[in-house]
Amino acid sequence: MRKRLEAVYFVPRDEDPRIGRLSGIIWALTRCQTFFQREGGILLDWRLLPPVFGKWTRKEYEDLELLFTEISENIGEPEIVGVFFEGFLHGGAFGNEGWFVIAEPYLHHLERRRFDAVVAHEIGHALGLPDRSDLSIMGLGPALGGLRRKAIFPRHRAHLSREDREALRRRW
Ligand SMILES: [Zn+2]
């Protein structure tokens, strides 16, 4: 099943844009596409839109409705909206049905190998998967390393739990 994901790098009025972030975002989304195709049979048809420069300050976007209203003015309504937010926002990474946000403190780890696993975790939430307490990507997996980490034990490789793989195949 194909899912349309539109990603955007969003810069509040009081933060400086760092255009170098875009290459890290593209890298992570490419890895996530391979991961979800393998683990869930989902083709993430993603694209990274031009950066959006927000009208308000970082603090004001703690009201997520304000953030998403402004984003939808710019990009319409794709199946999944992924926001890479310049500046600290709530816990830093969170998502739910149809959307996710990744902000500081994760963005400055773009070049680190586990960043792609954090993005995969949030895409999982956007696809309707819950948090888990196992070693899968929806559990502690992102703490173990990136999506293509080498692992001695199969359960330490980047994966989705059987329940989540089945849920994705059933649902989509
Ligand atoms: Zn989570």
* Domains delineated in the chain: 2-171 (3.40.390.10)
The CA–CA distances, whole Å, from 172 to 2, 41, 100, 109 equal: 8, 9, 18, 31
Judging by beta carbons within 10 Å of its beta carbon (0-12, 13-18, 19+), is residue 32 exposed, middle or buried?
buried
Per-chain mean pLDDT for the chain = 93
What tens digit of pLDDT does each residue of 129-143 get?
999 999 999 999 998
CA of 129 to the centre of ligand 1 (A): 9
Contacts of 80 (CB under 8 A, 6+ apart): 3, 4, 5, 6, 98, 99, 100, 123, 126, 127
| Secondary structure letter of residue 140 according to DSSP | T
Rounded to the nearest whole angstrom, what is the distance from the C-alpha of residue 22 to the centroid of ligand 1? 23
Rounded average pLDDT over 135-160: 90
Q: How confident is the model at residue 151 (pLDDT cuts 50, 70, 90)?
A: confident
Ligand 1 centroid–CA 18 distance in Å is 26
Output 149 or 35, whichever has higher pLDDT: 35
**73: CA distance to ligand 1 center in Å?**
27
- The predicted pLDDT at position 109 comes to 81
96 CA distance to ligand 1 centroid (A)?
Answer: 9
Report CA(27)–ligand 1 centroid distance (Å): 21
pLDDT at 172: 75
Question: Which residues are found with C-beta within 5 Å of the ion, ligand 1?
Answer: 131
Q: Decide if pLDDT at 65 tops 80.
A: yes
- Report the pLDDT averaged over residues 80-107: 94
State in Å: Cα 138 to ligand 1 middle. Answer: 6
Query: Ligand 1 centre and the CA of 121: distance in Å?
Result: 6
Least confident stretch, 31-35, 83-87, 111-115, 145-149: 111-115
Per-residue model confidence (pLDDT) at position 80: 95
